[in-house]
Amino acid sequence: MKILVAEDDETMAGYIRKGLIEQGFSVDWVSDGREALTYCLYNTCDLAIVDRMMPGLDGLSLVKALRASNSSLPVIFLTAVSDVEDKVEGLMAGADDYIVKPFHFSELLARIHALSRRPKENSHKTELTCHDLKLDLLKRVAIRQGQVIDLQNKEFALLELLMEAEGRVVSRTMILEKIWDFSFDPGTTVVETHISKLRQKIDKPFDMALIQTVRNMGYRIRAPY
């Protein structure tokens, strides 16, 4: 599970990050609200822990911007603001939970596990679509312009990951963690190899390429504008 910690207090962020990593989570940290918004919109993660008061963009505005972009990313507010009105405001803005500092790490962990048990937004879906490309999750094939495209297991998993994050960048590290279940290795070319194979099957036979490389960031699949 990939978690973003958006907290401008370096000591607090370090404490949270250390505890989560010890529990087996993959954790990234940003200290600015605008950085957090960019990360959430252009990367794949499973949950964000957001401080209410941050430079650049406050947590409340961050969550409102995420919900306005139709992001369903689970968000836990972690803040020193404890008034009931502020809690209600945070939850009404779109946060999923609200924890007041100081807090026990065990409580934060319990809230994370509770959110992770919620059904995923697309858990009931049997098909993903992007422009004229469809991915049948039951038959485990891709279909483009009526043509059935058979995919190997890793190719299917990679395409599914990209299509779930349609329009957003999926980093190379995230692909390695989710598809091959190992951490970043600068020496491996397995991601590039499988992206190339996908392009041969998904893009090359057709007029429009959907899979894009975003330099120094990763890959995304996006319908043409």
Mean pLDDT, residues 40-57 taken together: 88
Kind plus residue range of the DSSP H or E element containing 85: helix 84-93
The mean pLDDT value of the chain amounts to 87
Q: What is the pLDDT of residue 119?
A: 60
Where are any strands of DSSP class E within 37-106? 47-51, 75-79, 97-100
**CA dist., res. 108 & res. 50, Å (int):** 12
Q: What is the pLDDT of residue 156?
A: 93
The domain segmentation of the chain, as residue ranges, is 2-116, 127-221
Kind plus residue range of the DSSP H or E element containing 63: helix 59-68
First vs last Cα of the chain: how many Å apart?
Answer: 32
pLDDT at 36 over 60: yes
**CA dist., res. 175 & res. 162, Å (int):** 9
CATH fold of the domain at 127-221: Arc Repressor Mutant, subunit A (1.10.10)
Mean pLDDT, residues 48-55 taken together: 92
pLDDT 10s digits, 184-217: 566 678 999 999 999 999 999 999 999 999 988 8
Radius of gyration of the chain (CA): 19
pLDDT at 39 over 80: yes
**CA dist., res. 20 & res. 14, Å (int):** 10
Cα dist from 121 to 51, 92, 149, whole Å? 25, 19, 26
pTM (global) more than 0.85: no
C-alpha dihedral (155, 157, 159, 163), degrees to nearest 10: 180
Q: What is the pLDDT of residue 165?
A: 84
Q: Is the bond leading into 74 cis (omega within 30 degrees of zero)?
A: no
Mean pLDDT, residues 161-170 taken together: 87
Least confident residue range of 85-94, 95-104, 149-158: 85-94
Architecture of the domain delimited by 2-116: 3-Layer(aba) Sandwich (3.40)
pLDDT at 124 over 70: no
> Which of 167, 180, 183, 181 shows the shortest CA–CA distance to 218?
167
**CA dist., res. 31 & res. 51, Å (int):** 9
Q: Are 51 and 182 in contact (CB under 8 A)?
A: no
For CA atoms 173, 174, 179, 182, the dihedral sign is: positive
pLDDT at 163 over 60: yes
Q: What is the pLDDT of residue 211?
A: 96
Identical fold, 2-116 and 127-221 = no
Q: What is the pLDDT of residue 182?
A: 64
Whose structure tokens read 């999750």? 137
Backbone angles phi, psi at 222, to 5 degrees: -150, 140
